[in-house]
Structure 1
C-alpha cells in the first residue's frame, strides 16, 4: 500500500476532510447541506456545492479502489430488477449480488427485455471474469433467454422466495432515491448508485452472522481499507486549485 496523501493534487482542502465528506454522503441519508452543516460545526467552512463536486469526483474513484480489493464473490448470483422513474419516464435498475449479499454490479436501462438482460449479464461476465455455478432469478422470462445464450452450462433456478437476497439489496437505494427527491437522469443514477452500492456495502457487513468481536474487527478493517483506498492523481502543470 502507498501512504495516504495529506491533500489531493489540485484541491485545497485536506484529503481527510474530502474523504470524510464522501463517506458521510454515501453511508447516511444526509443532504449536501446537512454535510455542510456537520463540517461547519467542526470548524470547516466549505459550501455544499464543493461537497457535491467531491462526491462526483471521488465517489467513483473510491468505489473503484474498493471493488479491486474485495474478495472473489461467491458462486451463486442473485439477479433482480426494480423500476426507477426518472423525469417521468420508467427505467429499470438491474442488480446482481452473490449468496453473501455482496454487490456485484448494477446497470440502469430503459427496458427489461431479453436484450437488456443479455447486456447486463455480459457486463457481469466481463467485470468479474468468471462464471458462477448457479444463477437465481425471479420469473422474468428475459433472464431465461440471456441464460441460454450466454451461460447455458450454469444452473438456473427461478424462484421468487429464493431471490429475496437480491430484492432486499434494493432497500438502501430506495432510501437514497427518496432523500434525493428522485434521480434527475439515467447517467446520474448510474454514476451515483454504482459508487453508493460499493461504498455502502463495504461498511455494512452481515452483522447478524458475526459475534461482537468479529464485527469490531470487520469494522476496523473496513476503515483501514477506506483510508488506504485514496484516489491517485497526477497534478498537471498549471492546474487550477479547486475547493
Structure 2
C-alpha cells in the first residue's frame, strides 16, 4: 500500500464563468493534480483521476483514494481499473468528511 489521496471538487469562478475545480491532495496537503471542468459527472471525474494517476511516478503509488460520497468517483475508478489505468489494489474510501 502506498500513499493516500484526498480527492474533492468545488465550484469556483474563473474569468467570470462558474466551473468545477477537481483536486487531489496528499496526506500532507500538497496538491497532486487538479482539473477544471464545466461539468460534475463521471466523465469529468474519470478524466481528472486518469490525469492524476498518469502523472504519478512509479515509486509514488497511491494505495487509497478518499472521496466524498459522490457516485461519479466510484464509477470513474471502476472504469479506470477495468482499463488498467488504475492499480487494481487501490482502495476507494467513500466517506463524507474523510477526504
What TM-score do you get using the length of structure 2 for normalisation? 0.80
Within a 5 Å distance, the mapping from 1:1-243 to structure 2 comes to 75-86=3-14, 89-130=17-58, 131-150=61-80, 151=86, 152-163=88-99
Query: What secondary structure is seen at the aligned counterpart in 2 of 1:156?
Result: strand
Query: What secondary structure is seen at the aligned counterpart in 1 of 2:47?
Result: helix
Q: Return the offset for 1:127.
A: 1.1
Q: Return the offset for 1:86.
A: 3.6
Runs of 4+ in 1 over 3 A off after TM superposition: 86-89
**Cα distance per residue 1:20-59 (max 9 Å; x no partner):** xxxxxxxxxxxxxxxxxxxxxxxxxxxxxxxxxxxxxxxx
Which structure carries more helix by proportion? Answer: 1
Following the alignment from structure 2 to structure 1, what is the Cα–Cα distance between the partners of residues 15 and 27? 34
**Cα distance per residue 1:183-203 (max 9 Å; x no partner):** xxxxxxxxxxxxxxxxxxxxx
- In structure 2, the partner of 1:20 is none
Count of residues in Structure 1 that have an aligned counterpart in Structure 2: 90
**Cα distance per residue 1:56-99 (max 9 Å; x no partner):** xxxxxxxxxxxxxxxxxx61011000001345543100110011
What TM-score do you get using the length of structure 1 for normalisation? 0.35
Indicate the structure whose relative CO is greater, using CA pairs within 8 Å and at least 6 residues apart: 2
Q: Any gaps of 5 or more consecutive residues in structure 1?
A: 1-73, 164-243
Following the alignment from structure 1 to structure 2, what is the Cα–Cα distance between the partners of residues 120 and 83? 15
Q: Return the offset for 1:134.
A: 0.5
Q: Any gaps of 5 or more consecutive residues in structure 2?
A: 81-85
